[in-house]
Amino acid sequence: MTSYDYIIVGGGSSGCVLANRLSEKPDHKVLLIESGRRDADPFIHIPATFFKVLEKGIDVHGYVSEPEKGLNDRPQIVPQGNVIGGGSSINAMIYIRGHRNDYDTWSQMGCQGWSYEDVLPAFRSLENNGSLNGKYHGRSGTLHVSDARHRHPLSEAFVKAAVEAGLPANGDFNGENQDGVGFYQSTTFNGRRWSSAQAFLREAEKRSNLTIMTETRVARVLFDGKRASGVELVDGTKISATREIVLTAGALATPKILQLSGIGDATHLSGLGIPVVADLPGVGANFQDHLEVPVQGETRDPISILGQDKGIRAALHMARYMLTKQGLLSSNVVESGGFVDTAGTGQPDIQFHVLPVLVGFADREPEPGHGLSIGPCFLRPRSRGSVTIRSADPAESAVFNANALSDPADIETLVRGVELAIRILEAPSLARIVKRRVLPGPGIEKDPVALRDYIRSTAKTVFHPSGTAKMGRADDRTAVVGPDLKVHGIEGLRVSDASIMPTLVSGNTNAPTMMIAARAAAFMTGKQISA
């Protein structure tokens, strides 16, 4: 049996960081296993063409839930990266850490050592910010973070209109205050996507002590008693680990691997004929995701990015990009947005993602014509779902119940977000540009029943699944891993991805997932993080 010191299962945002950090020491023999292929598609590396990668579907795995009552019996569709770099290779590159209170809440929930002041050094150690510095930012890391190179007129109009609607401008959502509107920084560098693969794996893959296996699926973790001893691939190949195994497969794949390995609810696993290694009923529970609802306006003139990827216009954009790394193709498309406290709690509960085009989704065609899309998204969902295996067969998909919008508080937060987005759409800087509101239809906001039905009919994921291997104390029966990310009751096995979030952070999850990986590597190697 082939043997390594460390096996990392999942080559996404977290796995690339871990592969880099664990292989820094030459005598560490490290294996990274990724179910997808190499990040070779050129569209991955051009910021504005990430939607082409999503359209192709080759480097994406689309998880589909059971029909959801809270979504008017629609399934929740959650596309996830299935490629080296994972989500960081297919996402909109927005660099957000979340709110200070997110991490302080984790600490108060029993995750000692995970307060904001505890995690800030890890964020700073990873970051190489092109314009911001000081207490909240780093300049020495390998994860490049940049200001928007391209600012579409519709993105700028949104920011101006939001300020007219009473929201403050904010030039740094990761600084002292999250509140306000402005342009997002993105994980890009010199006009190119700067994924976790670019930031961490490109350097590490040159090392002889790191092996990378792509298009390879792990069926389960193997054990010697209560110690993780290796992994078994779906083809039956077994690979041993002398030190540790780390699951970094994401919040929808990691709980499946754990359950197939005998870690989960003992009654459920026994009923499937799977020998129980650890009775941890929290595995696969506590699923959370960010959902947003479209508020869209059709513009008077054809000024959106509709059709810019076709014909001579596409050729001109590509020529400019290849020559200068400037222009539309250098844009992350979701250029502007912001964070708003709509409930008066002192912490934002809504995030806006703004696109200079009318967008649809996997289950909905875009509206025709030119326009812009404002997506109010709730930040701290109350609803909780689950991921549960159907059988001991790794090839069979798990039962995914998102339980979306099951908590009435989530609906009410989105109601406030939609109402605010409509007010922004009607503010002077957008009213001059927008001919008519496309979604929701005229007058819907005046009918409480119709507005809530609209939300249930159109709410969609913002691609931030989390929580299914919750971090917490060993005496918490809902927790799966401890603050050191070790699986409770097991030796030699950790989880290091968005699965471990006890509660979802208030913002995009890519940067927090890399922070989690940096801390996991520090726990495993004993090497201190220096910001």
Give, for all 531 residues of the chain, the pLDDT tens digit.
Answer: 799 999 999 999 999 999 999 999 999 999 999 999 999 999 999 999 999 999 999 999 999 999 999 999 999 999 999 999 999 999 999 999 999 999 999 999 999 999 999 999 999 999 999 999 999 999 999 999 999 999 999 999 999 999 999 999 999 999 999 999 999 999 999 999 999 999 999 999 999 999 999 999 999 999 999 999 999 999 999 999 999 999 999 999 999 999 999 999 999 999 999 999 999 999 999 999 999 999 999 999 999 999 999 999 999 999 999 999 999 999 999 999 999 999 999 999 999 999 999 999 888 899 999 999 999 999 999 999 999 999 999 999 999 999 999 999 999 999 999 999 999 999 999 999 999 999 999 999 999 999 999 999 999 999 999 999 999 999 999 999 999 999 999 999 999 999 999 999 999 999 999 999 999 999 999 988 876
Q: Which residue has the tokens 């929290």?
A: 282
Q: Considering 28, 353, 464, 488, which one is annotated as catalytic?
A: 464
Measured CA to CA, the distance from residue 338 to residue 168 in angstroms comes to 10
Please name the fold of domain 149-183+291-378+406-458.
Cholesterol Oxidase; domain 2 (3.30.410)
DSSP H/E element including 521: helix 510-525
Most distant CA pair in the chain, distance? 69
**198: number of Cβ within 10 Å:** 24
Structural contact between residues 233 and 218, judged by C-beta atoms closer than 8 angstroms: yes
Q: Is the dihedral of CA 505, 511, 513, 518 positive or negative?
A: negative
User: Strand, helix or coil at 13?
Assistant: helix
Closest CA to 43 of 185, 151, 189, 192: 192
- Is the CB of residue 97 less than 8 Å from the CB of residue 510? no
As a whole number of Å, the CA-based R_g of the chain is 22
For the chain, first and last CA: distance in Å?
A: 40
- Residue with tokens 């292929």, as numbered in its chain: 37
- To the nearest 10 degrees (0 to 180), the angle between helices 448-458 and 408-425 is 100
- Collapsing DSSP to helix, strand or coil, 165 comes out as coil
Taking the whole predicted model, whether its pTM rises above 0.85 is answered as yes
Give the Cα separation of 264 and 469 in Å (integer): 10
Count of C-beta atoms within a 10 Å radius of residue 42:
10
Q: Where are the domains of the chain?
A: 149-183+291-378+406-458
Question: Is 464 tagged catalytic?
Answer: yes
